Amino acid sequence: MLQTIAIPPTYTEGYARMLLIREFEQGIHRLFMKGEVHGTTHLSAGQEAVPVGVCMALQPHDYVCGTYRGHGHALAKGTPADALAGEMLGRANGVCGGRAGSMNVVDVEHGLVGCFGIVGGSIAAAVGAGLSGRREGRVSVAFFGDGASNQAYFHECLNLASVMSLPTVFVCENNLYGEFTPLSASTAGGRIAERAESYAMPYEIVDGNDLWAVHDAATRAVGRARGGDGPTLLECRTYRHFGHSKSDPAKYRPAEEVEHWLGRDPLVVARERLRSEGVTEEELAATEEATREGLERALEAALAAPFPDPAERPGREFKP
Mean pLDDT of the chain: 91
In this predicted structure, the answer to whether residue 86 has a pLDDT above a threshold of 50 is yes
pLDDT tens digits, 19-73: 999 999 999 999 988 889 888 888 898 999 999 999 999 999 999 999 999 999 9
pLDDT, residue 2, reads 35
Instruction: Label the pairing between strands 232-237 and 168-174.
Output: parallel
CB atoms within 10 A of CB 292: 15
Q: Does the pLDDT value for residue 318 go beyond 80?
A: no
CB 137 within 8 A of CB 107: no
Domains of the chain: 11-294 (3.40.50.970)
Average pLDDT over residues 169-179: 91
Rounded CA-CA distance 250/246 in Å is 10
Q: What is the pTM assigned to this prediction?
A: 0.92
Mean pLDDT of 302-312: 89
- What pLDDT, on a 0 to 100 scale, did the predictor assign at position 8? 64
Distance of CA 134 to CAs 129, 232, 303, Å? 9, 15, 41
Sequence length of the chain is 320
With bands split at pLDDT 50, 70 and 90, how would you rate the model's confidence at 149?
A: very high
Report how far Cα 35 is from the mean position of its chain's Cα atoms. 25
Q: What is the pLDDT of residues 233-263, one digit of tens each?
A: 999 999 998 878 777 777 888 899 889 999 9
Residues 258, 229: Cα–Cα separation, whole Å: 39
Q: Give the integer Cα–Cα distance in Å for 242 and 99.
A: 25
> What is the band of 16 on the pLDDT scale with cuts at 50, 70, 90?
very high
* Contact in structure between 25 and 76 (CB atoms under 8 Å): no
Dihedrals φ, ψ of 172, to 5°? -90, 115
